[in-house]
């Protein structure tokens, strides 16, 4: 139940694992306190058995927790990607000239649906002068996907459409730098709401 709740809220998995470490320490401290009170009746074999049992139980809990968390997180990402792919217009128009394209999951998943072509057509049909591409829903990215993304940015530029990218994770930035992609020509923001606020104010 906790794993499902944490996954639905989008809480980072590593934070939950940290709690397991704290709980394990609390249990071990209780065992140590019990041993100190009953030293005369406790053998070395008892201590080894309790320690092994306790650690195996916590390892199993962590294993189950990560499994259930992963199942819920994957189901959410799949549902979000399916919803976006079914939308006739994946670009969300937020003003006469500004649109938002939220990308959920891996960029590579969009290739089969003529991702780049649809963006070009819809951005042009909506008469956008600026498109915000939000990457906060992209868990990871490789070299090929980063290159694909920046090819889309270049094509939008040829159409006279400025591109703003939000939600860039450190690994995405690192991959882009390794590819030699120049970020200086692209406006970036850490959060989507900041980009929307600035661009709507400007335009």
The pLDDT, as a whole number, for residue 203 is: 54
**Mean of the pLDDT values across residues 16-34?**
92
- Report yes or no: 134 and 192 within 8 Å, Cβ to Cβ: yes
pTM, full prediction: 0.54
The domain locations on the chain are 2-85, 87-202
The pLDDT, as a whole number, for residue 46 is: 93
**Mean of the pLDDT values across residues 33-50?**
92
- Report yes or no: 177 and 186 within 8 Å, Cβ to Cβ: no
**Mean of the pLDDT values across residues 178-195?**
81
**Mean of the pLDDT values across residues 36-44?**
91
Query: Which is the CATH superfamily of the domain at 87-202?
Result: STAS domain (3.30.750.24)
What is the 3-state secondary structure of 39-68?
A: HHHCCHHHHHHHHHHHHHHHHHHHHHHHHH
The 10s digit of each residue's pLDDT in 50-106 is 999 999 999 999 999 999 999 998 888 877 776 666 554 578 889 888 999 888 766
Looking at per-residue confidence, does 88 or 192 come out higher? Answer: 192
Q: What are phi and psi of 36, to 5 degrees?
A: -65, -30
**Mean of the pLDDT values across residues 31-59?**
93
The pLDDT, as a whole number, for residue 90 is: 76
Strand ranges in 19-173 using DSSP code E only, listed in sequence order: 92-93, 98-104, 130-137, 162-166
Q: What is the mean pLDDT of the chain?
A: 84
Is the pLDDT reported for residue 200 higher than 60?
yes
Share of the chain above pLDDT 70, in %: 86
């Amino acid at each position: 139940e906790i794993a499902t709740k944490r996954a639905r809220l989008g809480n980072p998995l590593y934070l939950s694992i940290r709690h397991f470490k704290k709980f394990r320490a609390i249990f071990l401290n209780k065992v140590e306190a019990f041993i100190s009170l009953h030293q005369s009746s406790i053998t070395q074999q008892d201590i080894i058995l309790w320690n092994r049992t306790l650690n195996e139980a916590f390892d199993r809990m962590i294993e189950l927790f990560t499994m259930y968390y992963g199942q819920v997180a994957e189901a959410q990402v799949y549902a979000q990607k399916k919803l976006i792919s079914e939308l006739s217009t994946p670009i969300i128009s937020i003003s006469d000239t500004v649109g938002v394209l939220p990308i959920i999951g891996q960029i590579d998943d969009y290739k089969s649906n003529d991702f780049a072509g649809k963006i070009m057509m819809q951005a042009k049909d909506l008469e956008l002068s600026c498109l915000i591409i939000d990457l906060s829903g992209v868990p990871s990215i490789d070299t090929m996907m980063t290159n694909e993304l920046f090819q889309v940015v270049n094509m939008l530029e040829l159409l006279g459409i400025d591109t703003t990218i939000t939600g860039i994770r450190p690994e995405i930035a690192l991959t882009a730098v390794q590819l030699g992609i120049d970020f200086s020509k692209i406006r970036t923001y850490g959060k989507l709401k900041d980009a929307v606020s600035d661009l709507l104010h400007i335009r």
